[in-house]
Amino acid sequence: MDINNIKMVGIDKDTPLELREKASFKNIGDALVKLKELGLEEVVILSTCHRSEIYFYSQKVTPQQIKEFFIEYFELNEIFSEYLRQICGLDVVEHIFRVACGLESMVVGEDQILSQVKEAINTAQAFNTSGKILFKLFRDAVTLGKKARADTGIKDLALSISYIAVKFVQEIFEDIKGKKAFVIGIGEMGQKAIKNLLDKGADVFVTNRTLSRALELKEQIPEIHVVPYEQKYLHIASSDIVISATNAPHYTVSYEKFREVYNERKICMVDIALPRDIDPRIGQMKGVSLYTLDDLKKTAEENKKERLSLITVIEEMVKEEVKEFDKWYKTLEIEPYIKEVSRYAHEVYNTEFQRIANKLIDSSEKDKENIKIALRRVANKMANKMITYLKESAY
């Protein structure tokens, strides 16, 4: 079994935003099914704001075929293929481990990616597209991600994109206490932005396409003001800060509708959605400062410097876990032999017990059970010795 059959093709945060938003998987289940039809033995899709990656295990399907799938599925031109990265074998193992640990995130050590990695494998399992190898790979990645954050304490320093967005706004206004902030979308990123804005003393208004969800959030966070979705433009125009973080596949803040209500007051808008929520033309209007995910990189880089010492520690943890996965993978080749040794050991002790038991007519059931246990222990010890030898030979 060649470990190079584990492969990955995808784009990440270094790909231009306009291309990332075009290649963002919205119906992962549909894509998984189509990929399986190509002949992949196992496949998992990791789709986030910063990356669209297809992890797969196949002896026949090549990375080039997956690149062609990307282009066809998203109806892109051939130029897009220049940004598609392909890796295989232990490079894939190291990559997903680094991703889960937050080492490949714009905000190093952030927590959100860990839940996204977990969700990726759960979705693949739900659609029966993952198998023994990718399940093990992603499960180990999640376990390592948790351990890295807990053992190093980087989780206490990790800042989400939502936090960075608020910090970015604060640098522009110097002080956002008392400023009117309007948050569109109350998913995970939106809620984090809301909490961070409240912590900085902003007067926070929120809206969501589903009003009931916004009202439920107000029960949890009474300080917020809920705005009906159809009134969002009036509140955007009267706000100092606007942060948009929905999952909509189209602009939720259109240029035409915003222009009708805008009075040229100073507004700082931060679009942390992918695809983007806010029409880019709005950023060209007088008084409006519009920032996207890519504009947050500077602040993210400053935070990264504070974590350099912890990053080194986590990178060593990643290297060790890559070695452990490699060992596990190599044992797959000898798995049939291990099963045969275990089966034979069970057969031997059971046969020998039956032979002895027939001669122990006067022995109690307890004595017979003790003899059976003893024989099983001997057989297991001999089997384990042989299995250990097999594993060491595989390494």
pLDDT tens track for 245-276: 998 989 999 999 999 999 888 999 999 998 99
Read out DSSP for 84-120? -EEEETHHHHHHHHHHHTTTTSSSTT-SHHHHHHHHH
Please compute, for residue 198, the number of CA atoms within 13 A of its CA located in the half-sphere on the CB side. 16
What DSSP element (H or E) covers 46? strand 42-47
- DSSP classification of residue 5: G
Model pTM?
0.67
What pLDDT shows up at residue 91? 98
Classify the phi-psi angles of 221: left when phi > 0, otherwise alpha if psi is within -120 to 50, otherwise beta. Answer: beta
Is the pLDDT at 356 greater than 70? The verdict is yes
Is residue 189 a known part of a binding site? yes
Is 49 considered catalytic here? yes
pLDDT 10s digits, 39-54: 999 999 999 988 999 9
Is residue 185 a known part of a binding site? yes
* Alpha-carbon span 282 to 18, nearest angstrom: 16
What pLDDT shows up at residue 344? 74
* Alpha-carbon span 281 to 295, nearest angstrom: 16
pLDDT 10s digits, 203-239: 999 999 999 999 999 999 999 999 999 999 999 999 9
What are the structural domain ranges in the chain?
3-158, 161-304
**Rounded to 10 degrees, what is the CA torsion of 350, 355, 356, 358?**
120
Give whole-number Cα distances, 390 to 329, 336, 339, 380, 387, in Å.
13, 11, 12, 15, 5
Is residue 110 a known part of a binding site? yes
List the one residue out of 351, 355, 346 whose CA is nearest residue 378.
Answer: 346
* Alpha-carbon span 134 to 120, nearest angstrom: 11
Read out DSSP for 150-212? HHH-HHHH---HHHHHHHHHHHHHS--TT-EEEEE--SHHHHHHHHHHHHTT-EEEEE-SSHH
Residues whose CB is less than 8 angstroms from the CB of residue 105 and which lie 6 or more positions away in sequence, other chains included? 13, 50, 99, 113
Q: Which amino acid is at 106?
A: M
List the one residue out of 254, 273, 281, 297 whose CA is nearest residue 26.
Answer: 273
* Alpha-carbon span 223 to 245, nearest angstrom: 20
Specify the range with the lowest mean pLDDT, choosing from 4-13, 99-108, 139-148, 358-367: 358-367
For residue 293, name the pLDDT band (cuts at 50, 70, 90): confident
pLDDT 10s digits, 105-154: 877 777 889 999 999 999 999 999 999 999 999 999 999 999 999 998 88
CATH 3.40.50.720 fits 161-304, yes or no: yes
Is residue 187 a known part of a binding site? yes
Question: Could you tell me which CATH number the domain at 3-158 has?
Answer: 3.30.460.30
Q: Which of 49, 88, 101, 268 is catalytic?
A: 49
Q: Which residue has the higher pLDDT, 137 or 348?
A: 137
